[in-house]
Each structure stands twice: as C-alpha cells, then as structure tokens.
Structure 1
Amino acid sequence: MTRAHLPGIAAMAAIVVASNILVQFLFGNWLTWGAFTYPLAFLVTDVMNRVYGAPAARKVVLAGFVTGVVCSLIGTQIMGEFGPLVTLRIALASGCAFLLAQMLDVTIFSALRDGRWWRAPLASTLIGSSVDTALFFTIAFSAQLTWLEPGNDVAWANAALPLLGLGPVVPLWVSLGVADWLVKLSLALLALVPFRLIVQRLTARSHPA
C-alpha cells in the first residue's frame, strides 16, 4: 500500500459509513437514502483499478469490508424500536454481498480494461451491482433462509404485495431489491462521467507532461 492509495481507502470508508447511517432513513416506499450513496463504492473501486491496478483496488475493497464489519458490530449494539439496528442476517448479508460483488467488479474490470474506456467500468459495475443486490436481499430477508437467525422475525419482509405497487404479487423484499437494483443501474450510467474525469486527473497527476 502506498500513500497514493490512501484517498481511495478514505473515500471507500466514508461511503460505507455514510451508507450504514443513511440506510436507517426511508426514501419513498421502497428505498432508503443509503441506496443513493452505496453504489459510489463501485466508482471508487473502478477508479483505483484503472489508475493503480487490480491489487490496489482489492486493498481498497478490503478496507471497505473491514469498515463495514465495524459498522455492523456497532449497529448490533444500538437498539431501535424493533430491536438491534443491525441483525445477524443483515450483517452477514451486507458483508457477503459487499465483498463478493466488489471482488467480482475488480475481476471483470481487469478482464475488460484494454477495451473502450467506458466498457470496463460499466460492465463491472452493472454485474457487480446486480450480484450485490441479489445476495443482500436474499440473505437478509428471504423466508427460505430463516434458519440463519431463527429469532429474527422477517415476516414483514415476506408480506405478499404487488411488485413496486404495480406488478405481480411478490414478497415485499423483492420489491425493495428491485428498487435498489434500479437505482444502482441508473447510477452506474451516471458514474461514467465522474469516472472519466477523476481518472484523467489522477493519471495526469501521476504522469505529468
């Protein structure tokens, strides 16, 4: 690890902490404010990968994972209206989803890094985000996985409701996951602009004319 990696590590840690705080606040019926900050983690990973390479990106991911574990441990000690702010299932879901999705992002980016500048960040973020959403919501709320934490009542998340209030009847957690996924896809497209600008700036700083 070099001093050049520290801004990426700090940015990742800040995003993870902010997302863990903002996930407590609802945005509409299907989202929390954390849904808008967490996808920025993929931007940080991709910038580090492009500028410093996959090993540096993996170090940043591990730093974010450790930060997330610390946040989860703190959350388990804070009691909310319905119990701990972070349950065992949510902590497990969050950690597994983050680590696997981010490492997948690094792998896909590295495989595509020699193509058009937008291909690697877009493909890696879209696939990584999809895996992240599927893993998190399934592990955290699926009725089929209640054995992970029998004492945690997730009946509310499995209430049968129309998908996003409009579509076929599905468990509530599916609507929450789809809404979160749509935000991630939208931000993956929007993040191409700051990705390009940040990479250009960091590259120019590392290789001055």
Structure 2
Amino acid sequence: MTRSHIPGILAMAAVVAASNVLVQFLFGDWLTWGAFTYPVAFLVTDVMNRVYGAAAARKVVAAGFITGVICSLIGTRIMLEGDGFTYPAVTLRIALGSGLAFLTAQMLDVAVFSALREGKWWRAPLASTLIGSSVDTAIFFTVAFSVSLAWIEPANDVSWAGDMLPLIGLGPVVPYWVSLAFADWLVKLSLALLALVPFRIIVRSLTKKAT
C-alpha cells in the first residue's frame, strides 16, 4: 500500500460504515437511507481501479470488507427491544449476507472493469457497477431474507419477509423481500448512471495530479 491509496481506503471505510448506520433508517416502504450511500462503494472501487490499477482496487475492497465485518460484529452485540422481545441490531443472516455480497460483488466489479479497461471511458465503470450491483443485491437479500434459507439462523424469524404482496405495491404478487431487493436494485442502477459524472471528474483530477 502506498500513500496514494490511503484516500481511497478511507473513503471506502467511510462509505461502508455510514451505510451500516443508515440502513437502520427507513425511506418509504421499500428502502432505507443506506440504499443511497452504499452504491458509492462501487464508485470508489472503480476510481481506484482506473487510476491505480486492479491491485490497488482490491486493497480498497479488502479495507471495506474489514470495516463491514467490524460493523457487523458491533451490530450483533447491540441488543434492541421491541414487541416484548430482545433481538440483535444485526442478525447473523444479515451479517453473512452483507459480507458475502460485498466481497463477491466488489471483486467481480474489479474483474469486469479490468477486462473492459481499454474500451471507451464510460464502458468499464458502467458495466462493472451494473453487474456488481446486481450480484450484490441478489446475494444479500437472498441470504438475509429468503425463507428457503431459514436454516442458516433458525432462531431468527424472517417469516414477515415471505409475506406475499404486489411487487413494490404495483406489480405481480411476490414475497415481500423480493420487493425490497427490487427497489434496492433500481436505486443502484440509477446511481450507477449518475456516478459516471463524478467518476470522470475525480479520475481526471487524480490523473492530472499524478503527471
């Protein structure tokens, strides 16, 4: 690790830590505030990949993963009370889903970006973020809330996530957790497009400083 990598590492750690806090606060019926900060992690990874290379991007991902593990460990030890029950702020399934989704999606992002590095400037960050974000959403919500994976943490009742409701209140009837995942995915796709602007600006700025 060099000094030039430190800002990226700190940025990733800040994004992951902030998202772990903001995910506790609802935004409407299908989202949390964390849904709007977490996608910035892909922007950080892609900027590091473009400017410093895949090895540097992987170091940043590792820093984010370690930060996420620490946040999860803290969250599993914070006990909340509600409806006559005491339960951890972060369940085992959420911790596992979050860690697995982050590491898999971010490493995939690095690989896709590297494969498309020589194309047009927007192709690598857009494709890698869209693919990584989709995988992230699929892994996290499936592991954390799918009723079929209840055996991972039998004591954690997620039957509420299996309630059959219209997709985000409008579409076909699906398990509630699918609506949560779909809404989260739509936010990630939207932010992937918007992130191209800061990606271009930050990369140009860092590239000029390096010359």
What TM-score comes out, normalization by structure 2 length?
A: 0.97
- Counterpart for residue 2 of structure 2: 2
Point out the more displaced range, 79-88 or 16-25: 79-88
Q: Give the counterpart letter for 2:78 in structure 1.
A: I
- Does 1:105 pair with 2:109? yes
Aligned-partner SS, 2:128: helix
- Could you give the per-residue CA deviations for residues 184-207 of structure 1, whole angstroms, max 9, x where no partner exists? 000000000000000000000011
Aligned-partner SS, 2:112: helix
CA distance in 1, matches of 2:72, 2:130: 25
- Could you give the per-residue CA deviations for residues 30-80 of structure 1, whole angstroms, max 9, x where no partner exists? 000000000000000000000000000000000000000000000001112
How many residue pairs match? The answer is: 207
- Counterpart for residue 45 of structure 1: 45
CA distance in 2, matches of 1:113, 1:204: 19
Q: How does 1:177-196 map to 2 (within 5 A)?
A: 177-196=181-200
- Could you give the per-residue CA deviations for residues 68-98 of structure 1, whole angstroms, max 9, x where no partner exists? 0000000001112351110100000000000
CA distance in 2, matches of 1:79, 1:16: 21
Indicate which of 166, 169, 181 corresponds to 2:170. Answer: 166
- Does 1:89 pair with 2:87? no
- Counterpart for residue 197 of structure 1: 201
- Could you give the per-residue CA deviations for residues 90-114 of structure 1, whole angstroms, max 9, x where no partner exists? 0000000000000000000000000
CA distance in 1, matches of 2:15, 2:80: 23
- Counterpart for residue 67 of structure 1: 67
CA distance in 2, matches of 1:190, 1:30: 21
Q: Give the counterpart letter for 1:14 in structure 2.
A: A
Q: Give the counterpart letter for 1:10 in structure 2.
A: L
Tell me the CA shift for residue 2 of structure 1. 0.2
Residue identity (%)? 78
- Counterpart for residue 55 of structure 2: 55
Q: Give the counterpart letter for 2:112 in structure 1.
A: I
- Does 1:121 pair with 2:122? no
| Structure 1 segments of 4+ aligned residues over 6 angstroms from their partners | none
Instruction: Give the unaligned 5+ runs of structure 1.
Output: none
Tell me the CA shift for residue 4 of structure 1. 0.2
